[in-house]
Amino acid sequence: MKYLARLSGICLALLLSFGSAQALAAEPNTIWRLLDYMAVDYAAAVEDGEVVNEVEYEEMVEFAGTVRSGIAELPERPGRVRLEANAKQLEADILSMAPVDQVATAARKLAADLLAIYPITLSPSRAPDLERGRLLYQETCASCHGVSGNGRGPASAGLDPPPIAFTDVDRARQRSIMGLYQVIDQGIDGTAMPGFSQLSSDDRWALAFYSGSVAFEAVDEGARLWKSDSELRKRFPDLAALTKITPDELAGEIGQVRADALMAYLRANPSAIADVAGPLGITRTRLAEAERAHANGNISRAKELALSAYLDGFEPVEPILATRNPDLLVRIESGMMDLRAAIDADLPTSAISERIRAIEGLLVQAENVLAPESATGWSTFVASFAILLREGLEALLIVIAMIAFVRKAGQDRALRFVHGGWTGALVAGALTWLAATYLLDISGAGRESIEAFGSLIAALVLLSVGVWMHGKSQADNWQRYIRDKLGKALSRGSLWFLFGIVFLVVYREVFETILFYAALSAQGSTGYLLAGAATAGLLLVVIAWLLLRYSRTLPIGKFFAYSSVLIALLAIVLIGKGIAGLQEAGVIGIAPIAGGPRLSMLGVYPTFQVIGAQLAMASVLLLGFWINHTRASNNDRSRDAV
């Protein structure tokens, strides 16, 4: 059995190496597979500085040359020269029959550096479904690999090389889940093993985890180890840590028996890691990858990973942390922003590492705050209440201002456009959330960009509306103006303008609210969450009623004056949020203001770009108001002269 498995591996290597210099040119994942194979199988070729298997050794030499030439053909990126040098050294080590540990270590380090510069899929986005993996195995694999995974399925007769026996423990100990995923994805040319790229990524990961779990049986013992040993849990902060490691590598750290048991449990129950890691596990992983990419000279990749650490890892827990420890939230946000600015400025790796260590210390505090035992129904209620009240108030003020505006103008027919704007925004926000959850994979940067551009467009629209309203507050003879001018203006298409204002502002708030509630719902306490939302909703209704009632008693001039100030303030808030969102999405750079103010409710963030944009918006608004006032004063003097 072991001989057949070994023969299958040799055939794989031969096929991969045959004329592969061109094929590898754009395939870092194939190079990674060769390095993974060399790290495992060099031990079968050389022992104590002597060749013990000529065929295996010749293939190791061939693979080393193929890796070297393949890396040379990869697209030019910072750090590739160092990869080429290390590949040449690995080839020299193999030619000189260097010790097994030396070659294995060099191959794995080269593979890790390769992934830092030419990233490929390392882990599933969510914990794989092992039952789904079992069903897929029976449908697609059992005919060759056998129902039990012993490599003797009904279709295996005559196959050369024979199918791998997944029950072979020695072989399974040398294979990582990532290696299995790569074979499932690409297949093995020249063998009966096809690729299954037509399957979804989730299905391929489920199949890889299932086939990688067949050989290990001590699941109960592994569960006991996992639950009782906190150091082991720290060893696997996320799914990527599990997919990359082989049982043999883990055995070097904790012993073979414990490693086999832990792999039995984790490969069969990957959700155990997903439950422990959570969003902050993603943050840690991305920060570590960003540090490694920066050290390798790949600045653009380091920046992408630092953004992902914040957007895909930390941002989902922001609303919860904001209610439990707002000061810690601000410190982590500031640390993340400072890290991205440092990468933008291309500071030395030591400075980047120092900032990452500081963030990691804050994440430990955040984990304690966010721990399930720290959660209470009351904290969930407060978070739910604060989120809806904060996000809903901005949208409500605009909607109420537009409703009061059309009523003052005597244009009740325009009300349906205002109501259509906010109801349409509710529907569009819900559809966007459904698409992001079930149809499309919208990244954290994508979500932030949607919010940011929505804020910027709304801010520019409100700029014009605010100046226009202020101008009308300076005019006289309002009844004649409304009758002769405003009614005609609305009939010429301004109804859709009203619809657009309301839709833009409300859609942005709805989209952000849905994202926050999705994160909050994952903490449980659904009853308290709904109660908090209902209480905030009731308070918003009361505020809306009071505003509508008060606006009816205001003289038309004062109404426009107050409304223009309100809209001007909202425009300043939204321009700040929009610029900050673009910074978080990595669209524009960050120039921090040390010790600067951070008032997220007002869109104020400590960067020169945000403060500058808000000052520019305030200046334009003040200029518009001054021009309106000057025109009104000139008109008054003209009438007095007459």
Query: Which three-class secondary structure string do you get for 494-524?
Result: HHHHHHHHHHHHHHHHHHHHHHHHHHHHCCC
pLDDT score recorded for residue 91? 93
C-alpha torsion sign, points 113, 119, 122, 125: positive
SS3 category, 572: helix
Supply angle C-alpha 35, 38, 42, rounded to 5.
Answer: 160
pLDDT score recorded for residue 243? 85
SS3 category, 167: coil
C-beta of residue 389 within 8 angstroms of C-beta of residue 540: yes
Distance of CA 270 to CAs 182, 211, 263, 286, 522, Å? 18, 13, 10, 19, 18
pLDDT score recorded for residue 98? 92
Q: How many CA atoms lie within 13 A of 153 on its CB side?
A: 24
Cβ atoms < 10 Å from Cβ of 182:
21
Rg of the chain in Å (alpha carbons): 31
pLDDT score recorded for residue 88? 94
Q: Which residues of the chain have pLDDT under 50?
A: 1-26, 440-441, 476-483, 485-489, 492
C-alpha torsion sign, points 448, 452, 458, 459: positive
The interaxial angle of helices 28-41 and 177-186, nearest 10 deg, is 130
SS3 content of the chain, % helix, strand, coil (to 5): 80, 0, 20
pLDDT score recorded for residue 111? 83
